[in-house]
Structure 1
């Protein structure tokens, strides 16, 4: 458990893991469809399209919060210790790529290549961000300021899409910590959303 005086980056860490994981899984699924190794009827295509559009919206919101709220906070808090040039350059590549992914979703097979590029960019960007930025957050940002960043991030997210994916990608120890932080409401919301999420996962990925 993180000290109450130190920013707890667990939520961002799991969100990053979910974005990377789902982008990679979508890239692999659409590659299989494009190669003719998996079938894709209208129902599965619609589910892939809806999931991908929501994922792209979530990625856009997340990096917009970083650009507009977190990066200025880091500059104020850490000053010359932080260099955001490379990370900001990655963000400038994201929106055109997200647009390309969305435009290709009329036929999921056509989205395989842009989704693969998206998955690669997210892997590289997030690994660098966590390596460089998370230690600076923990050294220089107050817990109160970090909580304000997380509040902005939560307000723009779609709970029914984001929350079940948090449970999917969190380690058991991380979920235990989140339950302590969020209280009984988290347990109730997850119970309500879990079934629908798992059905969508089976339809899109063949997952349990």
Structure 2
């Protein structure tokens, strides 16, 4: 959905949501890999356990920073718009719906419970519905009303929460399995040195982790 920036956002160029979409797509990819591992009888391999641990960490970072920084900034931008306030409340509520499913899968993996496949399907449905809701409604709203400074603050908070060691996993994790075009677009949205550092350092280290194998 293309939405022109509202004049009161203080912006002349649209916000670049490339990292947001790339992160959402990485979550979708990992849940597909988890589903394949479970149905293929590989849920107890070290690579699958490590892949799941990374997935949950990335999800926690992403949603925590949204809850702490992004949604409050969006609330400040629409204080007198009930429909938009309700949308933001839905975003935080949808985050909370994921917690029991994540806990259930943790327990299923550690105790080899038969409910694992069902919980993975449920998590996939709930998370995908949330991300589609965010992409279809919350991102267009941000494009309309969120000032550049608040979007930059969100990006900065995300980078700070990841830290250097987190970025060393996050960048190649995002790029895992993407097309050449998606890779180019994502790296173009990152600070200049990221592409080189990823090629020389992050990517080789990430491959050695062998997530989901």
Q: Does 1:98 align with 2:107?
A: no
Q: CA deviation at 1:139?
A: 1.1
Distance change (3 Å), C-alpha of 1:109 and 1:186 = farther
Per-residue deviation, 1:187: 2.1
Unmatched 5+ residue regions in structure 2?
Answer: 1-10
Q: Map 1:86-125; keep pairs closer than 5 Å.
A: 86-106=90-110, 110=114, 111-125=116-130
Q: Name the Cα RMSD after superposition.
A: 2.5
Q: Does 1:133 align with 2:142?
A: no
Q: TM-score, normalised by structure 1?
A: 0.80
Runs of 4+ in 1 over 4 A off after TM superposition: 107-110
Please, what TM-score do these two structures have when normalized by structure 2? Answer: 0.79
Cα distance change, pair 195–15 in 1 and its aligned pair in 2 (3 A): same
User: How many equivalent pairs are there?
Assistant: 194
1:6 counterpart = 2:39: no
Structure-to-structure mapping, 1:73-88, within 5 angstroms? 73-79=73-79, 80=81, 81-82=83-84, 83-88=87-92
Post-superposition offset of 1:114: 1.9
The 5 A counterparts of 1:1-208 are 5-33=13-41, 45-79=45-79, 80=81, 81-82=83-84, 83-106=87-110, 110=114, 111-157=116-162, 158-168=166-176, 170-180=178-188, 181-201=190-210, 204-205=212-213
**Consecutive unaligned residues in structure 1, runs of 5 or more:** 34-38
